[in-house]
């Protein structure tokens, strides 16, 4: 990966630049973060022409190491007001890597009165009019595949992003061409939308094979890595069979499953939305259903799924835990078919299901709808689709919706909605929500796997402090976080395989040091953007309102939280 | 003493006794005050494969001493969703 592509939408120019030496050892989240720090005015309006979007595969992007094809996107977030990185599996990172593209920088703002899309192949990079603007991601993707064939990878936004809704994400296509692998968080779909860019089409056809630094050694170590993944109880156990949905049983059991706008940590219908039931539904309905699906080429974990309707026809793929938690229990909806339908609607609009689940939860809590009203929730998404006044408010996410509706129970940290772990039940992740440069983000340092009492405040700061750089390592290597239970204890091997792939010599300790440095880069951007330790906290209702069954409040002290970013 | 056991998802596949029990639910005899780890050993469950223990609706450690009538839920580890 030897070039950086810069697309200036204000000028309509596209330039190819060599990779500066200072960026060579960076990838994925560490590269998007550094470019944002170097190039973006930290005080800029996130939805303005001075913000930039940076796409980057990880250091291992394009290799065939399992689970290494995550695509990162970075920018200043319209939700948090700070730096943001979101990432997803899918095919786009591999396609960019095959074309030798280490980063794709989108800057400026188009003066045209129509949307464009960017076309990238081995010979040309062009902006073209996007006549599919206004369409949902499913029909827009269909049109682009008809035009460019199924070898292409697509990155695209839905109508939500086009309208600058802060709940909008960016999606990319999976191996079968579904536009449902979301780089969902932080409202970066809105950043893409205000720039006037609907999609990026990447066709790697004809690209030369990637030149490995030492292919033979890579293949040998890759075999060892696959063995570690398959033998590990996490990566080779529950994920392949039950997928992420299995988390619902666990969080429900420890009273951390968001329920009715984070007012209870356990849900009476949890056993109708959990991994076992999802598995039962998919296998009993058959048809297009699949319990064990890979979101990216070559993944051996295969935690994803295809969820069919009662006739066996595909309803949505994937149906994941975060959506089940936010659009299910958090709305008191105990029916997977309803959750799948809401998931599809959000996907098509290009909206983050976490942000929208939290938003509808707040709306229900404020009496706009009754908890459990799945048709009502779908109707609210209809308001968003129709761009009504109510829809415009909801599309801005939970914080703005909550303020408009007068809520004092808005489950956000730094303006971004919490994922499907109530921080009163998993306090280590609560520390991460409060202190990560990313805001409330379960991928920035999840502590759920630690064998500690998750409600005891004492061990949590240290757990979060350890988890945050490990998450960063996965994010800059382009690895799915789910490999870390198996490979996180083998950082030296990860360093070796990185060297065998791209020639970058790096030890396990150096990986950790690079992760710390990348976190410092993010904190520095946030500091310059005006964020301060005063924002490293959770909403007061979580500090004051005990969860009904466990009696737990979020009681990690503000002093402890402040220390996380001072170390 | 007698306890109730519920094995969740993947753990049902790891304990042969589960084949005859609906959803991994069964009753089990243990010596008085035996710790959870005793139950794991009895069931032939590698401790690495059990990441979360819940007793009577509360998270518990593997050295927790069980009491007659306790309901024990066992989960394999997961790292996120």
CATH number at residue B54: 3.10.20.30
pLDDT for res A165: 98
Quick check: B10 and A241 CB within 8 A? Answer: yes
pLDDT for res B20: 55
Quick check: B79 and A320 CB within 8 A? Answer: no
Tokens of A289: 């259903």
Quick check: A449 and B77 CB within 8 A? Answer: yes
- Whether residue B38 lies inside any domain: the answer is yes
Q: What is the C-alpha to C-alpha distance for residues A97 and A501, in angstroms, rounded to an integer?
A: 12
pLDDT for res A566: 82
- Whether residue B81 lies inside any domain: the answer is no
- Whether residue B21 is predicted with pLDDT greater than 60 in this model: the reply is no
Q: Which CA distances in Å does A84 have to A191, A355, A439, B35?
A: 11, 15, 9, 45
Best of A233, A255, A357, A442 to disrupt the B interface (most B CBs within 10 Å) is: A233
- Whether residue B19 lies inside any domain: the answer is yes
pLDDT for res A394: 98
Quick check: B59 and A234 CB within 8 A? Answer: no
Decide: helix, strand or coil at residue A55.
Answer: strand
Q: Which residues contact A311 (CB under 8 A, 6 or more apart)?
A: A285, A287
- Whether residue B10 lies inside any domain: the answer is yes
Among candidates A463, A410, A457, A464, which has minimal Cα distance to A437? A464
The distance in angstroms from the start CA to the end CA of chain A is 34
Identify the structural domains of chain A with CATH numbers, from first to last.
3-202 (3.60.9.10), 213-232+429-567 (1.10.599.10), 243-422 (1.10.569.10)
Q: What is the C-alpha to C-alpha distance for residues A469 and A467, in angstroms, rounded to an integer?
A: 6
Lowest mean pLDDT across A172-176, A467-471, B7-11, B69-73: B7-11
- Whether residue B71 lies inside any domain: the answer is yes
Tokens of A172: 């990319």
B54 touches chain A (CB under 8 A): yes
Q: At B24, phi and psi to the nearest 5?
A: 70, 25
pLDDT in tens, A192-247: 999 999 999 999 999 988 999 999 999 999 999 999 999 998 899 899 999 999 99
Which of B 11-50 lie inside 8 A of A, CB atoms?
Answer: 23, 46, 48-49
Residue A499 parent element (H or E): helix A491-502
Average pLDDT over residues A409-428: 98
- Whether residue B80 lies inside any domain: the answer is no
- Domain range for B40 is 2-75
How many Cα neighbours within 13 Å face the side chain of B41? 8
How many Cα neighbours within 13 Å face the side chain of B79? 24
Beta strands in A82-191 (DSSP E): 83-88, 101-107, 116-120, 125-129, 153-156, 170-172, 181-183
pLDDT in tens, A373-388: 999 999 999 999 999 9
pLDDT-derived band at A71 (thresholds 50, 70, 90) equals: very high
Residue A129 parent element (H or E): strand A125-129
- Whether residue B55 lies inside any domain: the answer is yes
pLDDT for res B81: 85
Q: What is the C-alpha to C-alpha distance for residues A311 and B18, in angstroms, rounded to an integer?
A: 31
pLDDT for res A321: 98
Best of A184, A232, A237 to disrupt the B interface (most B CBs within 10 Å) is: A237
- pTM score: 0.97
pLDDT-derived band at A414 (thresholds 50, 70, 90) equals: very high
- Whether residue A52 is predicted with pLDDT greater than 90 in this model: the reply is yes
pLDDT for res A11: 98
Instruction: Give the total number of structural domains in chain B.
Output: 1
pLDDT for res B18: 60
Q: Which CA distances in Å does A446 have to A143, A323, A460?
A: 38, 17, 11
pLDDT for res A237: 87
Q: What is the C-alpha to C-alpha distance for residues B30 and B1, in angstroms, rounded to an integer?
A: 5
Percent over 70 (pLDDT), chain A:
100
pLDDT in tens, A280-310: 999 999 999 999 999 999 999 999 999 999 9
Are A86 and A183 in contact by the 8 Å Cβ rule? The answer is: yes
Sequential DSSP letters for A296-359? STT-SS--EEEEE-TTS-EEES---HHHIIIIIGGGT---HHHHHHHHHHHHHHTB-HHHHHHH
Tokens of A285: 């309905």
- Whether residue B19 is predicted with pLDDT greater than 60 in this model: the reply is no
Average pLDDT over residues B29-44: 96
Q: What is the C-alpha to C-alpha distance for residues A220 and A204, in angstroms, rounded to an integer?
A: 27
pLDDT in tens, A16-35: 999 999 999 999 999 999 99
């Amino acid at each position: 990966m030897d070039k950086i592509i810069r697309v200036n939408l204000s000028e309509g120019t596209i330039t190819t630049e060599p990779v500066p030496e200072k960026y060579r050892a960076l990838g994925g989240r560490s590269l998007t973060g550094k470019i944002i720090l170097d190039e973006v005015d930290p005080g800029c309006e996130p939805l303005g022409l001075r913000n930039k979007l940076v796409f980057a595969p990880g250091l291992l992007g394009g290799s065939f190491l399992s689970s290494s094809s995550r695509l990162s996107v970075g920018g200043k977030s319209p939700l948090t007001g700070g730096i943001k990185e979101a990432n997803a599996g899918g095919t786009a990172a591999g396609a960019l890597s095959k074309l030798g593209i280490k980063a794709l920088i989108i800057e400026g703002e188009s003066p045209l009165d129509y949307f464009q899309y960017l076309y990238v192949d081995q010979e040309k990079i062009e902006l073209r009019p996007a006549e599919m603007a206004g369409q949902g991601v499913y029909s827009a993707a269909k049109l682009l595949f008809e035009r460019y064939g199924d070898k292409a990878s697509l990155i695209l936004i839905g109508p939500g992003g086009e309208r600058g809704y802060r709940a909008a994400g960016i999606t990319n296509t999976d191996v079968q061409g579904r536009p449902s692998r979301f780089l969902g968080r932080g409202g970066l779909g809105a950043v893409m939308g205000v720039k006037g860019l609907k999609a990026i089409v990447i066709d790697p056809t004809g690209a030369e094979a990637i030149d490995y630094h030492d292919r033979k050694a890579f293949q040998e170590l890759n075999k060892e890595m696959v063995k570690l993944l398959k033998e590990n109880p996490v990566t080779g156990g529950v994920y392949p069979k039950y997928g992420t949905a299995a988390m619902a049983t666990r969080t429900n059991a420890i009273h951390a499953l968001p329920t009715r706008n984070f007012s209870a940590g356990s849900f009476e219908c949890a056993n109708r939305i959990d991994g076992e039931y999802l598995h039962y539904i998919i296998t009993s309905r058959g048809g297009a259903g699949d319990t064990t699906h890979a979101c990216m080429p070559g993944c051996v974990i295969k935690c994803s799924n295809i969820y069919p309707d009662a006739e066996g026809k595909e309803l949505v793929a994937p149906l994941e835990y975060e959506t089940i938690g936010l659009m299910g229990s958090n709305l008191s909806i105990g029916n997977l078919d309803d959750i799948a339908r809401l998931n599809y609607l959000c996907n098509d609009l290009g909206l983050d299901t976490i942000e929208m689940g939290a938003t509808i939860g707040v709306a229900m809590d404020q009496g706009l709808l009754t908890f459990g009203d799945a048709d009502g929730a779908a109707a609210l998404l209809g308001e968003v689709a129709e761009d009504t006044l109510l829809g415009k408010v909801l599309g801005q996410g939970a914080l703005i919706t909550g303020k408009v509706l007068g809520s004092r129970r808005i489950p956000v940290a730094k303006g971004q909605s919490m994922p499907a772990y109530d921080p009163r039940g998993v306090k280590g992740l609560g520390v991460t929500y409060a202190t990560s440069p990313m805001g409330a983000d379960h991928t920035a340092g999840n502590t759920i796997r630690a064998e500690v009492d998750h409600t005891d405040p004492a061990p949590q700061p240290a757990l979060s402090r350890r988890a945050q750089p490990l998450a960063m390592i996965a994010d800059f290597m382009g690895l799915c976080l789910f490999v870390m239970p198996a490979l996180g204890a083998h950082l030296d091997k990860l360093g070796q395989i990185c060297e065998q792939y791209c020639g970058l010599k790096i030890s396990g300790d150096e990986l950790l040091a690079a992760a710390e440095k990348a976190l410092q880069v993010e904190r520095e951007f946030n500091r310059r953007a005006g964020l301060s330790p005063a924002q490293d906290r959770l909403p007061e209702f979580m500090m004051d309102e005990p969860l009904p069954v466990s009696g737990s409040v979020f009681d990690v002290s503000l002093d402890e939280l402040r220390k996380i970013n001072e170390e | 003493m007698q306890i109730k056991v519920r094995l969740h998802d993947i753990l049902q596949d790891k304990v042969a006794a589960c084949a005859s029990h609906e959803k991994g639910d069964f009753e089990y005899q243990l010596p008085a005050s035996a710790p959870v780890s005793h139950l794991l050993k009895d069931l032939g469950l590698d401790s690495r494969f059990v990441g979360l223990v819940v007793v009577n609706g509360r998270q518990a450690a593997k050295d927790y001493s069980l009491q007659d009538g306790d309901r024990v839920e066992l989960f394999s580890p997961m790292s996120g969703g």
